[in-house]
Structure 1
Amino acid sequence: MMIRPATPDDAAAIAALILPEIAAGETYALPRDISAAAAVAYWCGPDRQTFVVEDQGRLLGSYYLRANQAGGGDHVANAGYMVEPAARGRGIARAMASDSFDRARAAGFTAMQFNFVVSSNAGAVALWQALGFAIVGRLPGAFRHPTLEAVDALVMFRTL
């Protein structure tokens, strides 16, 4: 397994990875009917660095890393992660998180903040807590889940 910077040649594989997750509407606050081009433009936007996890030529996951805020908040990183459903449970999210922490530190970030972790995404919440993130805020009913209706969104934070 190798984590490397994404290239323009990865666009189709990134779209194939992220579109089903976005369309499911359970974890990301993005339009469920987003186009492939718009999804890739979001994931690989100019304000972020995007990375992919590759194993034997197959893309198993991807994450982006960016500043959470500009100006006085630009020392705090933000990131988003997705893992191919068939590859879940193999430590890929944990490996991407570790890689992102290292890259964030190297870029001068001193902390990482997730602004909108859907509380019903129990696997993600548990992983982030196991990796040292604290829930520092709760936004009651802030996410419209497709089957659970209104669920809380969490703000999670850790120092690097």
Structure 2
Amino acid sequence: MLIRDAVTDDWPRIWPFWHRIVAAAETYAWDPDTDEQAARALWMSPAKRVYVAEDPAGTVVGSAYLTANYGGPAAHVANAGFMVDPARTGRGIGRALAEHVLAEAVRHGYRAMVFNAVVETNPAVRLWTSLGFTVLATIPEAFDHPRHGPVGLHVMHKPLV
């Protein structure tokens, strides 16, 4: 699997799984009705470093971004977002993207990473904890999950230095 910087022409290959994941309303606290133009502006923002994972055939199977979570004197704390094509889960793509983004965060001088709103029922919580993230807090019943009802949102953190 190749993980590389995304280019503008990658968006049409990211959008189908981005839309499927957000529309499912199970793992992201983004509006499930986000249209393609707004989604592109959100994910491909010039303020973010965006990456794609390609399988050996050149198919984009996942994407991630890296950005500062805060500004000014706290700009050394990173934030990231990850999406793997739901048809390709369980193949190590999420872990490979996470490891790549964590290495990139260190390379770009970030000293920590924080996730602001990880849905507590998201299977990725196991991935994040296996990579050294801890749950700092859980906002109870902050997310209306379509199958589980109100569930918590974790704030997760990992020092990078």
Identical pairs, percent: 45
Provide the rounded CA distance (Å) in 1 between the counterparts of 2:87 and 2:20. 13
2:17 matched to which residue of 1?
Answer: 17
- Provide TM-score, normalisation by structure 1: 0.96
Which residue pairs with 2:73 in the alignment? 72
- Partners of 1:15 and 1:106 lie apart in 2 by 28
For the Cα contact (< 8 Å) 1:142–1:152, is it kept in 2?
Answer: yes
Please name the residue that 1:151 is paired with: 151
Q: What is the CA distance between 1:66 and its match in structure 2?
A: 0.2
In the alignment, which residue of structure 1 is the partner of 2:27?
27
Distance 2:42 2:17 in 1: 13
Q: Give the structure 1 partner of residue 44 of structure 2.
A: 44
Q: What amino acid does structure 2 have at the position aligned with 1:51?
A: Y
Matching of residues 2-151 of structure 1 within 5 Å:
2-55=2-55, 56-121=57-122, 123-151=123-151
The aligned amino acid for 1:93 is G
Q: Name structure 1 gaps, 5 residues minimum.
A: none
In the alignment of these two chains, the number of paired residues is 159
Q: Distance in 2 between matches of 1:151 and 1:83?
A: 22
Q: Which runs of 5 or more residues in structure 2 are unaligned?
A: none
CA contact (8 A) 1:14 1:40 kept: no
User: What secondary structure does 1:143 align onto?
Assistant: strand
Give the distance between the partners of 1:33 and 1:68, measured in 2 at CA.
24
Q: Please, what is the CA RMSD of the aligned residues?
A: 0.8
d(CA) in 1 for partners of 2:91, 2:150: 30
The one-letter code of the counterpart of 1:110 is: R
Separation (CA, whole Å) in 2 of partners of 1:47 and 1:144: 29
Q: Once superposed, which parts of structure 1, at least 4 consecutive aligned residues long, lie more than 4 Å away?
A: none
Residue type matched to 2:81 in 1?
G
> How far does residue 109 in structure 1 lie from its aligned partner after superposition?
0.2
